Amino acid sequence: MSDHRQALKIAVVGHTNTGKTSLLRTLSRDKKFGEVSAMPSTTRHVQMLRMGVGSDIIVELFDTPGLEEAIALLETLDAQKQVNYRDGPVQIEALLNDPQALVRFEQEAKVLRQLLNSDAAVYVIDVRDPVLPKFRDEIAILARCAKPLLPLLNFVSVSNTYESQWRDALAKLGLHVVVSFDTVAPAQNGEAIFYEKLGTLLDARGKRLAELMASHRDDAALRSKSACELIAELLLDVATCKHSFTEGDANAVHEFNERVRQREQSCVDAMLGLYHFSREDLDASTLPFNEGQWRDDLFDPSTLTALGLNLGGGAAAGAAAGFGVDLMLGGASLGTGAAVGALMGGGLQTLRRFGRRVGNQLNQSIQGAVLRRQTLRVDDKILQVLLTRQILLLRALQSRGHAAMAQVQVDNAVLEDLWPGEIEKTIGAIRQYTSWSSIYQPLQWSPEREAQVDGLAQLLEGKLHTGGSPELGRR
């Protein structure tokens, strides 16, 4: 009698280059598992991946080399059919004990040996290929191992596939339970459906897969919550940041911007870590990243335009650099960072020139104030950009398979809903608590600060779900 607590052994098999290793990367959320390449015959040996809940191993998935010689192999098997008529596994065993066959079918033998030692197999199919005779032969050979087989249709998000022809052909071969799973862009609940279908093939033992799935769902919910807390911390840190400087400190604005940029980057890094991605993952993507750094500078006006946010009229005038920092002059804000742009560009002289442009009265007030003390704060629009970028990053990470190598597209159309009244109101209410910011000073924990972070994080989670999170499913 089989032990129901023993780990299920699942062989992942299929023609070469169909995405077997990619599937394991995505299921394990480990982008370093095995070797993936567009070249055929990449995986040369069987490699195991264990998954479970805590120390309880529930499933062992075996990545195998790609099948390439199915037609010749089936002929060889058929040639010795007379001896082992009707007994598929015996035929396969005979093949595996035939030294000559082992030389010719070295890779195939590794797959078949693993399949005989497994409880079931997942047969990975590239649905961009038509149902060719060699694939039918592969299925016929695998069937002789007499193990449950779950065909998995990969590359389903590509247009113009042979998916329906594959489904018809599989049904005719008696394979009625089939799963679609794009390893690079797994569909919402794709993983859950995969384990559920695999479970049905394994009867009572398959129920253990539900435990694994429940644990993965909990992990996903926790990751999402933690990510929203990271973003909430960032928003709070930047919104409450206030820096005063006196005349002569020409670097003050530059340093201020730099600190905010670094704060954003540390949030990005933490989020990447949370989702088991790293900076190098993003350098090839179309997220606005370049080598892990945001490609579009936070304080560049074009960043706002690119994200579909409107610049205020006053801001556009002088904000070639430094847009988005509010310079408070004796309590009167100049609005957006026009003056700061000037300050950054050429220091005090430029600020004076800029002042002349906007009128004598303002000029005097600027000059007077500059000689005294200014306070820097981050503009609301920049907070909106910060929030938007983090939510876009989070959504992209949640819907990205760990096999993904291609670029992720960011949809700017969703921006407007990311800064709803409630978030603006919460931000407005916390702006005054300047001791909460950890940008210029070590973090000072307080229950009030914590409560604001929690509240903001909850608001953000709500936003995340209304936008649809593939990892968690829509509500």
Contact residues for ligand GTP (CB under 6 A)? 16-22, 36-38, 40-43, 65-66, 154-155, 182-184, 403, 405
| Residue 420 binding target from ligand GTP, Mg ion, none, CB below 5 to 8 Å by type | none
Q: How far is the CB of 218 from Mg ion (least distance, A)?
A: 30
Min. distance of Cβ 234 from ligand GTP in angstroms?
32
CB of 61 to ligand GTP, least distance (A): 12
* Least Cβ distance, residue 224 to ligand GTP (angstroms): 23
Least distance to Mg ion, CB of residue 20, Å: 5
When the beta carbons of 187 and 274 are compared against ligand GTP, the nearer one is: 187
Using alpha carbons, select from 106, 124, 115 the residue that is nearest to residue 14. 124
Nearer to ligand GTP, 9 or 31 (CB): 31
The H-or-E segment that residue 52 falls in is strand 47-53
Partner interacting with residue 336 (select from Mg ion, ligand GTP, none; CB below 5-8 Å by kind):
none
Which spans of this chain sit near Mg ion (rule: CB under 5 A)? 20-21, 42-43
CB-CB contact of 334 with 358 (8 Å): no
Q: Which helix (H) or strand (E) holds 361?
A: helix 360-371
- Backbone angles phi and psi of 57, in degrees to 5: -80, 120
H helix and E strand count, the chain: 18, 12
Question: Which of residues 166 and 354 has its CB atom nearest to ligand GTP in the complex?
Answer: 166
Nearer to ligand GTP, 123 or 436 (CB): 123
User: Which 3 state secondary structure label does DSSP give 331?
Assistant: coil
Cα 218 to Cα 211: distance, rounded to the nearest angstrom: 11
Q: Decide which of ligand GTP, Mg ion, none touches 188; Cβ closer than 5 to 8 Å per partner kind.
A: none
Q: In the complex with Mg ion, which residue's Cβ is closer, 19 or 470? A: 19
Q: Decide: 342 and 389 in contact? Cβ < 8 Å.
A: no
Distance from C-alpha of 346 to C-alpha of 53, rounded to nearest angstrom: 59
Q: What would the 3-class secondary structure string for 402-420 be?
A: CCCCCCCCCCHHHHHHHCC
> Closer CB to ligand GTP, residue 58 or residue 185?
185
Residue 384 contacts which entry, ligand GTP, Mg ion, none (Cβ below 5-8 A, type-dependent): none
Burial, 182: exposed, middle or buried (Cβ in 10 Å; 0-12, 13-18, 19+)? Answer: buried
374 binds, among ligand GTP, Mg ion, none (CB under 5 to 8 A by kind): none
Binding-site partner at residue 41 among Mg ion, ligand GTP, none, CB < 5 to 8 Å by type: ligand GTP
Min CB(263)–ligand GTP separation in Å: 34
Q: What is the largest CA-CA distance in the chain?
A: 104
Q: How far is the CB of 282 from ligand GTP (least distance, A)?
A: 17
Nearest C-alpha neighbor of 142 from the set 104, 183, 174, 103: 174
Instruction: Name the strand (E) or helix (H) holding 425.
Output: helix 421-430
CA distances from residue 399 to 130, 216, 287, 404, 406 in whole angstroms, order as listed: 28, 15, 13, 10, 13
Pair of tokens at residue 355:
């002042």
Instruction: Please tell me the distance from the alpha carbon of residue 245 to that of residue 328, in angstroms, as a whole number.
Output: 11
Residue 19 site contact among ligand GTP, Mg ion, none (CB < 5 to 8 Å, cut-off depends on kind): ligand GTP
329 binds, among Mg ion, ligand GTP, none (CB under 5 to 8 A by kind): none
- Nearest residue (CB) to ligand GTP, 139 versus 241: 139
Q: For ligand GTP, which is the closer residue by CB, 66 or 318?
A: 66
CB of 126 to ligand GTP, least distance (A): 8
